Amino acid sequence: MNTSPPLWLVFVFVATIALLLGDGLYASYRRGAISYTRWYGRDGPYRRATEPFLYWLCMAMTGFGFAVCTLGAALILFMMVTGY
């Protein structure tokens, strides 16, 4: 009995996450601020002009997540096309 989800469903999930991360990266870069939410302390944006280190750190982490999801979606699509 196969208990893993269908491959197309995993592809849709990973591709959707990649799309949302990419959209957020583009919007944050255009705005010059990246928003965040913490479980404690302050919530709000890191601005490129006032907090450049934290801004670029968050952009780098989000970009890494975007790259991982995009490569994962590409790998899953390749597996679906080749019938693996």
pTM: 0.77
Picking from 13, 56, 11, the residue whose alpha carbon sits closest to that of residue 33 is 56
pLDDT at position 72 is: 93
Give the domain ranges of the chain.
7-82
Cα–Cα distance for residue pair 70/20, rounded to 1 Å: 11
Instruction: Report whether 12 contacts 70 (CB < 8 A).
Output: no
Q: Mean pLDDT of residues grouped by 10 in the chain (84 residues)?
A: 80 92 88 76 76 85 92 91 82
pLDDT at position 14 is: 93
